[in-house]
Structure 1
Amino acid sequence: MPTPSAGKREGDISDAFASLSGLNSTPLPDRYRQLKLSLVAGHDETAIVASWQRLLAELRTENETIARLGPDVIPSIRYSNLDEDLAVHKEELHKRGVAVVRGVIPEAEARGYKDQVEAYVAKNKDKTRGFPPENPQVYELYWSAAQLAARGHPNLVDTQTKLMGLWHTDPSAPVDLTQLTTYADRLRIRLPGDARFALGPHQDGGSVERWEPRGYGVGHVYDPVFAGKWEDYDAWDAGHRAAAVCDLHDGLGACSVFRAFQGWMSISHVRPRQGTLLVYPLAKLGTVYALLRPFFAPVKPPASASSESFLAPENWVFTGGAAMTSDLQGATPGHGQEFPDGPDGSLHPHLELARTMVHVPQVSPGDYVVWHCDGIHAVDKVHSGTSDSSVLYIPVCPLTEVNARHMVRQREAFLAGLPGPDFPGGPGESAHAERPTANFVKGDVQRRGMGLQPFVAGSEASSGAKAITALANSISGFESKEES
């Protein structure tokens, strides 16, 4: 058995978020002030201010639509009609950045995953960690039979592959949107009445990294935003995104790979306010606002965060030069980007999250919920239902160099029964009874995604896809393959 690389310290999901881990908010170092100055240096301040004003006008209009429609704003797609529904809803999917794909796995089969997880936990109760420790709702489990089966289910693989069609890339970019790498994440079995797993609005994929030249700046992902041309920013360009570095601070649970979509497979019936997901269904606009907010400040403080005079564009001024601060509202190195209410609700007021964070519609076991990797999302503060709210976290990750290198480290962890490289360390499931071995992983696609057999470039693959296939196989210790 391979010897896994040194893991991180032990912990749980709370360590990934400043709010859950109890960290006090402290000012960022002065280098972030200098970083902000460098991002706008050489750009026309008038253009940046004008772009901010255009953004506020669009947010005002779009927020009204979201507040009016609520969960109905989220596209629902039928697995039984996947190709047609994706085509029909493509424009809306690009705008919203979130979808429910219904009936991906048969309901009885998906519900059975929960029974298998509970049996696995019962057999390994003293060895299984979770949050909160006294009454776990999110388990530090990655390699149960149910999780492996769900990740490799042909219907889910088919769904993930077709969802990747919403992304695009330059043919020469070293990305293959038709081949998937597996990212082994946790699971949730949230019980009625729980109020501890109260994770507020946030973005995953780092926080300060979105402004860092060594972070997302490596791929020039957000360059148009800082140049006052946010409309030119393409939220669905996988080529730029694949090069980004989204974990500069080695955080516990801070994702280091390109997850095109984050997602979960429901293994229970869940309705709004029953411990489920909420989203801000404007993937591009929400990200642009978060990126520009640190460069603007209100002239007058709010009577309330939603007051017309406070939100008015003329109340907000560009804070360049000597007025620049180190503030990156809600960003804490080593943690996810959060959108807290703040003492007066004014950290990200134009998003109006109190009325625009909408619940995912009711889901059944076997429904798959996905959201864009930049999507702002949260969970119900209180699970007010009468039955469990249970999901398996399963994102969608295309083949890139960063993802391939992670996959090899994750393969070592899988074979040893340890948590994946992004997650809190410790013995994990290494001593768990009935933990599946590599022989459990079936199907070419899943075995490739787990680094257990070589990737195969399609006969019509782009030059970039062929290049990344060859590189990924080299990284994995396999010879390159190509369909004849």
Structure 2
Amino acid sequence: MASMASTSTTSTMPPPPPPPSMLAPGKKREGDISDSFASLSGLNATPLPDRYRQLKLSLVAGHDEAQIVASWHRLLDVLRAENDTIARLGPDVIPSLRFSHLEEDLKAKHEELKKRGVAVVRGVIPRDEARAYKDQIEAYVAENKDATRGFPPENPQVYELYWSAAQLAARGHPHLVATQKRLMQALWHVSDPHAPVDISQPTMYADRLRIRQPGDARFALGPHQDGGSVERWEPAGYGLGKVYDEVFAGRWEDYDAWDAGKRAGAVCDLHAGLGACSVFRTFQGWLSISDVGPRQGTLLVYPLAKLATVYTLLRPFFRPKVAASSSSSLPASSADFLSAANWEFTGGAAMTSDLQGATPGHGQEFPEGPNGEPLHPHLELARTMVHVPQVAPGDFVVWHCDGIHAVDKVHSGTGDSSVLYIPVCPLTEVNARYLARQREAFLMGLPGPDFPGGKGESEHVNRPPASAIVGEAARQAMGLAPFLDSGVVLAGDAGLADGLHQVQGALGDGNQLGQGGRLVGPALDLVAGQAPDALLDGVDGVLDLGVEAVHAVDEGGRGVGVGALALGLGMLGGLFEDMLERRQPMGEGRDGHVVEVDGSHCDGSWEGRGFFLLEKWDGTAEE
């Protein structure tokens, strides 16, 4: 019988770390982008506590050790071939999309986009408009020079700015919001139809900006992953969504890097790091506001989204039989060192607490070891980290939330390398809770909850007000308008049907539950039980339109105290408008009225699917 990885009694699940900070905006200490990474903040690498050894034992407990080892061997074989392709193609390996032909390009390059996990979307915002953002930012900085922080402090290249007029305009630009939506819908999916995530509804995540000047070598951020570090192995982190379970079971080919449902409830910031992201970002991204090319202070990526993550997760369970160093006869780049035959599984008593490059409260990095050898040698990052192609103002660069990326160590160009950091975030309950706190920070001019605290821009001259965010889509994405008015299509046709009322509640606006007259909920009794006063207050405006006889019955045919018109998803626009125009019910139940959609009576228990138009009703059927 094959040996099992659970060969030690010490594989008991370790206690989880403390929960992430829920500090109000501005309550974290002051800092800058260097605080997000151990390498930039000057931290020395120290061994992780023994609980991480126990954690690693628990992750492989009960799995066939031979299966895990075999999966490692398969992975190394694939990496060897793929790395050769990346090194040969360089920046050409990164797909480019045209905003003007986005649907066509997404379809034509779909598989390559999912494999690479990175893309350049050309011309999302007109060139002159995007370049003007930089001029506006520089004027804003000049007006508030003494109050604006950045890294490095003596000559900022990355500014602690979140709420400038240019940033608000870019985040809310209808072209950019539309691009975010289509990228999520085209590349991500939700395997669980009840997962609380909506990939059709972008939400704003206010991040920093970079204006990197020629010659800069201080903002030399090496290869890293955002979205936490140790959290990827933690049961209370990504383990909450079972995001990587297939990898730890020796079935990494079955791991789906594009399943948003599993990530919706994951915790990616267990240690409340300064600048550590606590929300679910499907993509990280930036909008270029300058012309910049390779070696000009720009981005480098490892363009294998799935394989990069799989290797990162499995690397701590294997060690070389014969070590390598820069001075040895077996360099880390040699085929003999990288050969699967030179690597062994560290199970049972051989298990260590090592999670190479992971530091609690900081991003995952891919550094060299004490002897100069890379800690993740099979990625061959020295030859596989490729520059993104030449970009122009208005181009939008995105990469998978698990993607390994870096910046040029030295800006060798002659012009500035300037970007606005703008990720792509879906609507989830976790993201909505963050959005509520971020909205509070915005109104006060403070950094968002994830970022270092202090006064931020609260005293900045010409800081824009909330009215500067215009357009319904932009205001929804910022949490300034109710999502319900967007007629969102829920993931898997059901995803937020069990939780969108909680999302709106998380935004702290009870009346948002009823604004627009629609609420998503799985059953009328649940709907009626959620803050009824707030719901009814929000519906009064709809009643003023003259909708008087729209009622519903519960599953048993009994009239309910709060009536509803249930509209099937996809039928919302035309059917709802038709109902308002006719001002009469479309069908009649035993004790009230129900709506018949596609031949099915939507009685409020219709698998949680449907939009409900609420109204006050005493339970008496009307003719």
TM-score normalized with structure 2 length: 0.76
CA-to-partner distance for each residue in 1:18-68, whole Å, 9 max, x for gaps?
000000000000000000000000000000000000000000010000000
1:134 matched to 2:165? The reply is no
Q: Is the 8 A contact 2:288 2:392 kept in 1?
A: yes
Is 1:376 the counterpart of 2:404 in the alignment? yes
Q: Distance in 2 between matches of 1:131 and 1:15?
A: 10
Closer, same or farther: CA 70–447 of 1 in aligned 2, 3 Å: same
SS of residue matched to 1:11: coil
Other-structure match for 1:329: 356
- Aligned pair 1:439/2:467, yes or no? yes
Q: 1:5 to 1:76 in 2, by over 3 A?
A: closer
Quote how far apart the aligned CAs of 1:470 are: 2.3
- Mapped pair 1:317 → 2:337: no
Distance 1:362 1:460, change over 3 A: closer
Tell me, yes or no, if structure 1 residue 265 matches structure 2 residue 283.
no
Q: Pairwise mapping of residues 357-372 of structure 1 onto structure 2 (< 5 A)?
A: 357-372=385-400
State the alpha-carbon separation in 1 of the partners of residues 502 and 418 from structure 2: 37
Aligned to 2:207: 185
Q: Which residue of 1 aligns with 2:302?
A: 280
Number of aligned residues: 482
Which one-letter code corresponds to 1:11 in the other structure? G
Q: Which amino acid aligns with 1:314?
A: A
Alignment gaps of 5+ in structure 2: 1-22, 325-329, 520-571, 577-623
Structure 1 position 4, deviation (Å): 5.4
Q: Distance in 2 between matches of 1:135 and 1:210?
A: 34
Greater length-normalized contact order (CA 8 Å, ≥ 6 residues apart) = 1
What amino acid is aligned across from residue 445 of structure 2 in structure 1? G
CA distance in 2: counterparts of 1:358 and 1:405, whole angstroms: 36
Tell me by how many angstroms 1:14 deviates.
0.1
User: Could you tell me whether the CA contact under 8 Å between 2:148 and 2:160 is conserved in 1?
Assistant: yes
The one-letter amino acid paired with 1:143 is W
Q: Which of 90, 103, 120 lines up with 1:70 in the alignment?
A: 90
Give 2:541's aligned residue: none
Could you tell which deviates more after superposition, 443-452 or 30-39?
A: 443-452
- Rounded to whole Å, the distance in 2 between the matches of 1:93 and 1:243 is 25
Contact 2:246 2:255 in 1 (8 A): yes
2:239 maps to which of 217, 228, 235: 217
Question: In the alignment, which residue of structure 2 is the partner of 1:168?
Answer: 189
Once residues 421 and 446 of structure 1 are traced to their aligned partners in structure 2, the CA distance between those partners, rounded to angstroms, is 20
Q: Alpha carbon RMSD of aligned pairs, Å? A: 1.2
The AA in structure 1 aligned to 2:188 is W
Q: Deviations over 1:70-90 (max 9, x none)?
A: 000000000010001001111
Task: Give the 4+ runs in structure 1 shifted more than 6 A.
Answer: none
- Structure 2 Cα separation of the partners of residues 172 and 155 of structure 1: 30
2:262 matches 1:240: yes
**SS in structure 2 of the partner of residue 198 of structure 1:** coil
* CA distance 1:459–1:329, change in 2 (3 Å): closer
Q: Deviations over 1:92-134 (max 9, x none)?
A: 0100000000000000000000000000000000000000000
Given candidates 487, 498, 509, the residue that maps to 1:458 is 487
Q: Secondary structure at the match of 2:102?
A: helix
Residues 312-337 of structure 1, C-alpha deviations (whole Å, 9 max, x = no match) = 00000000001000000000000000
In the other structure, the counterpart of 2:549 is: none
Superimposed CA distance per residue, residues 177-209 of structure 1 (whole angstroms, 9 cap, x where no aligned partner): 111111000000000000000000000000000
Contact 2:26 2:448 in 1 (8 A): no
| Higher Cα radius of gyration | 2
Following superposition, the deviation at residue 291 of structure 1 comes to 0.2
Aligned residue for 1:391?
Answer: 419
The equivalent of 2:593 in structure 1 is: none
Tell me if the contact between 1:299 and 1:316 (Cα under 8 Å) persists in the aligned partners.
Answer: yes
Structure 2 counterpart of 1:470: 501
Contact kept, 8 Å, 2:316 with 2:356, in 1: the verdict is yes
Distance, in Å, in 1 between the alignment partners of 2:235 and 2:84 is 35
Structure 2: distance between partners of 1:232 and 1:41: 19
Q: Are 1:193 and 1:384, in contact at CA under 8 Å, matched by a contact in 2? A: yes
Unaligned runs of 5+ residues in structure 1 are none
Mapped partners of 2:64, 2:252: distance in 1? 14
Whole-angstrom CA distance in 2 between matches of 1:139 and 1:335: 19
Paired position in structure 2 for 1:114: 134
Q: Distance in 1 between matches of 2:497 and 2:391?
A: 38
Cα distance change of structure 1 residues 459 and 214 upon mapping to structure 2, 3 Å threshold: closer
Equivalent residue for 2:531?
none
- Within the candidate set 310, 316, 322, 1:300 is matched to 322
Q: Percent identity?
A: 75
What SS does the aligned partner of 1:340 have? coil
1:363-405 alpha-carbon deviations (Å, 9 max, x no partner)? 0000000000000000000000000000000000000011000
Answering whether residue 37 of structure 2 is matched by residue 17 of structure 1, we say yes
Contact 2:26-2:441 at 8 Å conserved across structures:
no
Paired letter, 1:167: W
Asked whether the 8 Å contact 1:399–1:468 carries over to 2, the reply is no
SS at match of 2:121: strand
- 2:64 is matched with 44
Within the alignment, does 1:200 sit opposite 2:228 as a pair? no
**1:256 to partner: Cα distance:** 0.2
Q: Secondary structure at the match of 1:392?
A: strand
SS at match of 1:471: helix
For the residues of structure 2 that align with 1:92 and 1:56, how far apart are their CA atoms? Answer: 21
Give the AA of the match of 2:346. Answer: T
Any conservation in 2 of the 1:304–1:344 contact (CA below 8 Å)?
Answer: no
Q: Structure 1 residue 406: deviation in Å?
A: 0.3
Letter paired with 2:157: Q
The residue type equivalent to 1:472 in the other structure is V
Q: Counterparts of 1:290 and 1:438 in 2: how far apart (Å)? A: 42
What's the CA shift for 1:448? 1.1
